[in-house]
């Protein structure tokens, strides 16, 4: 039927609403459940039958491929789950499957209580009381990362291959909490890592004639003067002024980082570099960053080298540069992609203050925030290093999976270094429940408490199912009775000491999963009417 020429929306009442939510929530949770844990499976996405199917073991990517289940009554719950999974993964880098399992368990348990006559308001109050108390217990259980092996154990739960996990754990441990790691893919089985100390910027050389080793496309200079210009170098006078200042400073190499090099300036630079009896080795470099990102990079580069950023209007023009305007570096290397600078000192007060400022900004950004990679690039330049992880495989699909898993693991290891670790495989949730004090709540709120307590064993039970344990319920009981540091080892089907066996979860990931799942489940629980529009607006965003 139509009203005023428009299709009339369909309205679902309370009973239908919960049936529809449940169907969609169950569909997504059941899809992702087999991927949970170290022996989890994969999701195959058969895109259009003309290309190779995608192999996905990342829950966030899997749900983002789902734009509709073909029925609005299923989509209402499925799209809620899609949003929750994507949200938690964007926040902490992992935990999507755990969030889906917890959401399903909390919602289904709560609906049973509704059928028994309980109020959704009181159920929600009881659930929130337990979730908040469990989060406090998780924080209390959490221990800091003590060594590289613990990071490797966490990485292994994500990448599911030991050599890659070992390298990812090593890189995170050596490069620190907000490690900058570029992942390069190779078209053959390959696994290697490289480390570049100092400041590293995406850049390009002003001319291939400035390479000191042209076959390898690389220029290397030591004991350098460093000149920085935000303005283009346009005349011979610009280059000559910088050369004279470097010579007066007693340097035999000069690295010029500028906005660009125009014909006359570039010709002067190349001619002097190639002179038979040159007094100064020269190289010109332009950064690939643009706008505010480039201005910040130049500021940071000036800070760590001691150079003045020339040509800003309030600083001297390049042609008026003085020896005091130049900075220094022990070593500079420029290849086809990256400018590597090893400054003489990076521990001065101004550098440390800027590092602290950037770390504060990073602490308030989700893992998926677009500003995060830019800030990590700045932080790595100021704090001294970046890594390159090289992964390869025989097929494009395998290469993509390995590279994406490595990137995801690095994000999770960053969260592990910040917030610590707890016993893994969902065991920490069981231990937190064991440590809860009695709740002084009314009868209906206590029904909510019961909902949460039943639901929080779901991740451990699902991991036991995925590992083909004979009795998943028995696994939960063995963990519950085994003491506060035990966990279930899915590979051996044994109850083990979590820290000794390396069966670990990241505290911040578990907390994010709990907060997100409970929020989503209770929102669905408190909804008693759905308005289905005949032609709803479509969105590709989760």
State the number of CA atoms in the 13 A half-sphere of 312 facing the CB: 11
Fold match, 2-143+423-532 / 200-345? no
CATH for the 148-198+351-419 domain, from 3.30.260.10, 3.40.50.2000, 1.20.1050.10, 3.30.2130.10: 3.30.260.10
The H or E element that residue 534 is part of is: none
Instruction: Report CA 32 to chain centroid distance, whole Å.
Output: 20
The CATH superfamily label for domain 200-345 reads GroEL (3.50.7.10)
The pTM (predicted TM-score) of the whole model is 0.81
- 2-143+423-532: CATH class: mainly alpha
Q: Cα–Cα distance between 512 and 99 in angstroms, integer? A: 8
Q: Cα–Cα distance between 42 and 485 in angstroms, integer? A: 29
Q: What are the structure tokens assigned to 330, written together?
A: 């022990």
| For the chain, domain boundaries | 2-143+423-532, 148-198+351-419, 200-345
Q: Cα–Cα distance between 113 and 111 in angstroms, integer? A: 5
Q: Cα–Cα distance between 329 and 350 in angstroms, integer? A: 17
pLDDT in tens, the chain (542 residues): 444 544 455 666 667 778 888 999 999 999 899 889 888 666 666 655 666 666 666 677 777 777 777 777 788 888 899 999 988 988 888 899 999 999 999 999 999 998 888 899 999 999 999 999 999 999 999 999 999 999 999 999 888 899 999 999 999 998 888 888 999 999 899 999 998 888 899 999 999 999 999 899 999 999 999 999 999 999 999 999 999 999 999 999 999 999 999 989 999 999 998 888 888 999 999 999 999 999 999 999 999 999 999 999 889 999 999 999 999 999 999 998 899 999 876 557 888 888 889 888 888 887 778 888 888 888 888 887 899 999 999 988 889 889 989 999 999 999 999 999 999 999 999 999 999 999 999 999 999 999 999 999 999 999 999 999 999 999 999 999 999 999 999 999 999 999 999 999 999 999 999 999 999 999 999 887 766 666 666 555 55
Among candidate residues 495, 447, 514, 490, the one with its CA nearest the CA of residue 112: 447
Q: Cα–Cα distance between 472 and 491 in angstroms, integer? A: 14
* Contact between 487 and 496 (Cβ < 8 Å): yes
DSSP 82: H
């Amino acid at each position: 039927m139509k009203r005023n020429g428009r299709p009339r929306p369909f309205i679902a009442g309370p009973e239908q609403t919960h049936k529809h939510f449940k169907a969609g929530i169950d569909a997504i949770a059941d899809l992702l459940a087999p991927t949970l844990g170290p022996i989890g499976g994969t999701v195959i996405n058969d895109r259009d039958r003309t290309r190779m199917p995608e192999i996905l073991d990342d829950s966030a990517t899997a749900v983002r491929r789902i734009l509709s289940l073909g029925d609005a009554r299923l989509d209402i719950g499925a799209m809620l789950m899609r949003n929750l999974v994507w949200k938690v993964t964007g926040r902490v880098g992992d935990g999507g499957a755990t969030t889906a399992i917890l959401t399903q368990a909390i919602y289904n348990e709560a609906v049973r209580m509704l059928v028994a006559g309980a109020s959704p308001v009181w159920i929600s109050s009881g659930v929130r009381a337990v979730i908040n108390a469990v989060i406090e217990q998780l924080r209390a259980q959490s221990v800091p990362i003590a060594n590289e092996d613990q990071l490797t154990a966490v990485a292994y739960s994500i990448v599911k291959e030991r050599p890659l996990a070992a390298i990812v754990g090593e890189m995170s441990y050596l490069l620190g909490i907000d490690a900058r790691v570029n992942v390069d893919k190779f078209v053959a089985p390959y696994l290697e890592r490289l480390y570049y100390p100092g400041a590293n910027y995406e850049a390009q050389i002003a001319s291939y004639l400035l390479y000191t080793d042209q076959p390898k496309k690389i220029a290397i200079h030591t004991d350098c003067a460093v000149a920085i210009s935000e303005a283009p170098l346009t005349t011979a006078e610009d280059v000559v002024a910088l050369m004279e200042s470097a010579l007066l400073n007693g340097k035999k190499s000069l690295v010029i980082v500028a906005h660009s090099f125009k014909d006359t300036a570039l010709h002067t630079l190349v001619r002097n570099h190639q002179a038979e009896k040159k007094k100064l080795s020269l190289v010109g470099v332009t950064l690939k960053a643009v706008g505010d990102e480039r201005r910040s990079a130049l500021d940071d580069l000036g800070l760590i080298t001691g150079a003045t950023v020339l040509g800003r209007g309030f600083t001297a023009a390049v042609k008026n540069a003085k020896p005091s305007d130049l900075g220094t570096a022990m070593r500079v290397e420029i290849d086809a992609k990256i400018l590597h600078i090893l400054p003489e000192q990076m521990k001065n007060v101004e550098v440390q203050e800027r590092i602290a400022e950037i770390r504060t900004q990073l602490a308030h950004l989700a893992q998926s925030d677009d500003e995060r990679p830019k800030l990590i690039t700045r932080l790595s330049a100021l704090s001294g290093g970046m890594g390159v992880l090289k992964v390869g495989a025989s097929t494009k699909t395998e290469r993509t999976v390995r590279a994406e898993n490595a990137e995801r693991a690095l994000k999770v290891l960053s969260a592990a270094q910040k917030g610590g670790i707890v016993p893994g495989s969902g065991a920490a949730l069981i231990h937190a429940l064991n440590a809860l004090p009695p709740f002084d709540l009314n009868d209906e709120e206590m029904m909510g408490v019961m909902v949460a307590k039943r639901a929080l064993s779901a991740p451990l039970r699902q991991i036991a199912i995925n590992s083909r344990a004979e009795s998943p319920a028995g696994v939960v009981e063995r963990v519950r009775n085994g003491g506060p540091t035990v966990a279930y080892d899915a590979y051996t089907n044994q109850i083990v000491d979590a820290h000794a066996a390396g069966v670990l979860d990241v505290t911040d990931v578990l907390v994010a999963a709990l907060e997100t799942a409970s929020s989503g489940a209770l929102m669905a629980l408190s909804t008693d009417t759905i308005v289905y529009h005949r032609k709803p607006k479509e969105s590709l965003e989760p």
